[in-house]
């Protein structure tokens, strides 16, 4: 992009931005003639994708700021008003502990209000899953949560929701994107005026209380807490996010002893004690694990900043803790819930579980062992919710409550969660799942990512890690085929998404897809090794060796 064009876009942004801090950032860059930074901020508009917005906070069209949030909300308003007829329209807004989350959420609320759509705005930060609950509780037509999930502190984001409480999916997603891209004028109004006209209503306890009650209602064996809760010690960290309020409340009501990591309890958008607030990463749980070891905790739990993700670690029997991966926790939950429904005589006539296409196939095997179906959907909570709209979605708080119940149940049977997980592996094979991601920053980043995906489509790999690729599934083109007979294709029963999956001769599945909200490409390796005469230890070693080799091949492509 030429210098004059960049400067013209920068001055256009300054004229449109309402926040003086973001304006001043760009004015200072122009004054300093910092064309490298200006180009990064203006070479494109931050894309409103199917997952909403996510980007670095700052002034510019390619940043998260008040103008970008207001423009996106105006496009959402335009679509809602054209699509939903015959009722008074409303929207719910929640936000997390990130920098500017409160500012952006109010920006959005005032856009809704000025467009005649009543905005329900939480008085303070709340978990993302409570936003979904609030939409249904209040009968709202849409919703927004301002969060960048588990991204680093420099980021913020914006997730849009439909009237069923799930993130927006097709056909609404693409149509909303079109409306956002065509916005020419943005309507807003002062906060006091919005409240006076009944177009802005602040909410808190009227949603909090029924939300907590809902979480408790999802427990399968509440009597376990009465009998055993006093003997179980939980160490918890919200990683400076939104989770502590509800987590401590729910666990306390159940009679569990919860010790929250004091240094990480207070909301803080700098996330000062962690480099990356992802509860599934061992580094993020360091302080919680150290505290757990000191107090001899039975389980360590952590939420990400917006509390829609749960990570746990359990004692390893040697004085330390073992981190349970998201796939492993999902397998434990599926096993425990299906087992409990069967034992309690509450198994539905057609039991089913839902997983994404990059989630462990161990779930499919567990489901089959209980006579349940397993349905696959695209990656992301919104697609899971889209598949099971008539059910309440499990979230980071209710998943924690279920984890506590599951811990008590297996303790009552004389087993730890690790011991139960090993039993599952022996029955269904050891499943090792590993991911690999690479960021591509700057003006050429998206082009590089597209080049990688185009390269795969032009020349599919014959092997990965020395193991032959037997079958290929391209979710973007909707076609799947066997390598031995590429002309005989079958249809992929999923919405189009930029993802390719390779099925290897040993049963391993490898998926590659660009992120929908960030400039990065993601790989998922899902490997299975049968537990044979050498036992589980041998199966784990064999899996690690072959996954290492596959990841080495992938790195040759992405650098």
pLDDT digits (tens, 9 = 90+) for 487-535: 999 999 888 889 999 999 998 999 999 876 667 899 999 999 999 999 9
pLDDT value, residue 385: 52
The average confidence (pLDDT) of the chain is 92
Q: Quick one: average pLDDT of 551-555? A: 96
Give phi and psi for 305, each to the nearest 5: -55, -30
Residue 30 to residues 5, 14, 33, 270, Cα–Cα distance (Å): 13, 11, 5, 27
Residue at 476 is within a domain: yes
Residue at 287 is within a domain: yes
Residue at 345 is within a domain: yes
282: domain CATH number is 3.40.120.10
This prediction has a pTM of 0.88
Residue at 213 is within a domain: no
Residues recognised as catalytic = 149
pLDDT value, residue 512: 96
Q: Quick one: average pLDDT of 54-81? A: 97
Residue 87 has pLDDT above 90, yes or no: yes
Structural domain boundaries enclosing 86: 47-208
Residue at 552 is within a domain: yes
Q: Quick one: average pLDDT of 117-129? A: 96
Question: Which residues on neighbouring strands pair with residue 513, listed in sequence order?
Answer: 522
pLDDT digits (tens, 9 = 90+) for 348-377: 999 988 888 888 889 999 999 999 998 887
The SS3 assignment for 111 reads helix
Residue at 473 is within a domain: yes
CB atoms within 10 A of CB 436: 16
pLDDT digits (tens, 9 = 90+) for 286-326: 999 999 999 999 999 999 999 988 999 999 988 899 999 98
Same-domain status, 422 and 472: no
CA dist., res. 354 & res. 375, Å (int): 5
Same-domain status, 120 and 233: no
Same-domain status, 247 and 167: no
Same-domain status, 187 and 225: no
Instruction: Kindly report whether the peptide bond that precedes residue 269 is cis, defined as omega within 30 degrees of 0.
Output: no
Residue 384 has pLDDT above 60, yes or no: no
pLDDT value, residue 395: 65
pLDDT value, residue 375: 85
Residue at 385 is within a domain: yes
* pLDDT tier at 6, thresholds 50, 70, 90: very high
- Residue 338 in contact with residue 351, Cβ under 8 Å? yes
Same-domain status, 173 and 201: yes
Question: Which residues on neighbouring strands pair with residue 146, listed in sequence order?
Answer: 95, 158
Same-domain status, 538 and 462: yes
pLDDT digits (tens, 9 = 90+) for 236-292: 999 999 999 999 999 999 999 999 999 999 999 999 999 889 998 889 999 999 999
Which two structure tokens, joined as six digits, stand for 538?
Answer: 């041998």
The DSSP annotation for 227-266 comes to HHGGG-EEEEE-TTSS-HHHHHHHHHHTT-EEEE-GGGTS
Same-domain status, 441 and 472: yes
The DSSP annotation for 460-526 comes to --SEETTEEEEEEEETTTTEEEETTEEEEEEE--S---S-EEEEETTS-EEEEEE-SSSSEEEEEEE
Residue at 367 is within a domain: yes
pLDDT value, residue 23: 97
Question: Residue 329: which of 369, 299, 292, 370 has the closest Cα?
Answer: 299
Task: Give the chain's domain count.
Answer: 4
Exposed e or buried b for every residue in 43-65, given b needs 16+ CB within 10 A?
beebbbebbbbbbbbbbbbbbbb
Same-domain status, 534 and 503: yes
Same-domain status, 61 and 130: yes
Residue 390 has pLDDT above 70, yes or no: no
pLDDT digits (tens, 9 = 90+) for 300-309: 999 999 998 8
Q: Which of 208, 228, 258 is the last residue of a domain?
A: 208
Identify the residue with better confidence: 393 or 434: 434
With a pLDDT cut of 90, the percent of the chain lying above it is 82
Q: Which of 377, 411, 428 is the last residue of a domain?
A: 428
Same-domain status, 231 and 279: yes
Same-domain status, 526 and 397: no
pLDDT digits (tens, 9 = 90+) for 420-448: 999 999 999 999 999 999 988 777 778 88
Q: Quick one: average pLDDT of 3-15? A: 97
- Residue 200 in contact with residue 113, Cβ under 8 Å? yes
Same-domain status, 33 and 51: no
Question: Residue 545: which of 508, 516, 498 has the closest Cα?
Answer: 508
Q: Which of 428, 446, 469 is the last residue of a domain?
A: 428
pLDDT value, residue 392: 39
pLDDT value, residue 391: 39
Residue 351 to residues 216, 370, 372, 395, Cα–Cα distance (Å): 22, 9, 5, 20
In angstroms, what is the C-alpha Rg of the chain? Answer: 24
């Amino acid at each position: 992009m030429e210098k004059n064009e960049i400067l013209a876009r920068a001055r256009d942004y300054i004229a449109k931005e309402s926040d003086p801090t973001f304006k001043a950032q760009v004015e200072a860059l122009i004054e300093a003639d910092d064309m490298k930074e200006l180009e990064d901020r203006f070479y494109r508009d931050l894309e409103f994708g199917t997952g909403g917005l996510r980007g670095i906070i700052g002034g510019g069209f390619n940043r998260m700021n008040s103008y970008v949030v207001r423009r996106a909300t105006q496009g959402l308003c335009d679509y809602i008003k054209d699509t939903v007829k015959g009722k008074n329209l409303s929207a719910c807004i929640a936000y997390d502990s990130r920098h500017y989350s409160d500012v952006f959420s109010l920006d959005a609320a005032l856009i809704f209000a000025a467009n005649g759509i009543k905005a329900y705005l939480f008085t303070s930060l709340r978990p993302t899953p409570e936003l979904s609950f609030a939409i249904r509780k209040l009968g709202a037509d849409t919703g927004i949560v301002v969060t960048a999930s588990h991204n680093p502190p420099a980021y913020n984001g914006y997730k849009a929701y439909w009237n069923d409480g799930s993130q927006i999916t097709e056909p609404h997603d693409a149509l909303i994107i079109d409306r956002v891209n065509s916005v020419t004028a943005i309507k807003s109004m002062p906060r006091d005026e919005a409240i006076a006209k009944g177009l802005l209503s602040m909410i808190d306890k009227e949603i909090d209380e029924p939300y907590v009650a809902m979480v408790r209602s999802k427990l399968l064996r509440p009597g376990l807490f009465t009998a055993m809760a006093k003997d179980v010690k939980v160490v918890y960290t919200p990683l400076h996010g939104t989770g502590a309020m509800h987590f401590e409340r729910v666990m306390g009501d159940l009679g569990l002893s919860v010790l929250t990591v004091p240094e990480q309890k207070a909301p803080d958008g700098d996330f000062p004690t962690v480099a990356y607030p992802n509860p599934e990463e061992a580094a993020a749980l360091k302080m919680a694990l150290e505290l757990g070891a000191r107090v001899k905790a039975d389980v360590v739990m952590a939420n990400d900043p917006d509390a829609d993700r749960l990570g746990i670690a359990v004692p390893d029997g040697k004085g330390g803790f073992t981190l349970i991966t998201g796939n492993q926790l999902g397998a434990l939950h599926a096993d425990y819930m299906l087992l409990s429904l069967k034992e309690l005589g509450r198994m539905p006539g057609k039991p089913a579980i839902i997983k994404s296409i990059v989630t462990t196939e161990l779930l499919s095997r567990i489901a089959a062992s209980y006579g349940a179906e397993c349905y696959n959907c695209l990656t992301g909570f919104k697609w899971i919710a889209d598949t099971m709209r008539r059910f309440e979605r499990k979230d980071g708080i209710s998943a924690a409550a279920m984890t506590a119940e599951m811990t008590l149940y297996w303790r009552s049977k004389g087993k730890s969660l690790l011991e139960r997980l090993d039993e599952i592996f022996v029955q269904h094979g050891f499943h090792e799942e590993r991911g690999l991601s690479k960021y591509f920053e700057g003006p050429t980043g998206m082009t590089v990512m597209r080049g990688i995906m185009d390269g795969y489509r032009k020349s599919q790999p014959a092997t990965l890690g020395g193991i032959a690729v037997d079958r290929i599934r391209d979710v973007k083109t909707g076609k799947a085929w066997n390598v031995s007979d590429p002309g005989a294709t079958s249809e992929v029963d999923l919405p189009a998404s930029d993802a390719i999956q390779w099925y290897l001769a040993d049963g391993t599945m490898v998926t590659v897809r660009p992120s929908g909200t960030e400039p990065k490409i993601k790989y998922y390796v899902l490997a299975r090794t049968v537990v044979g005469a050498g036992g589980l230890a041998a199966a784990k070693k064999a899996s690690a060796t072959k996954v290492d080799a596959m990841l080495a091949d992938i790195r040759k492509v992405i650098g």
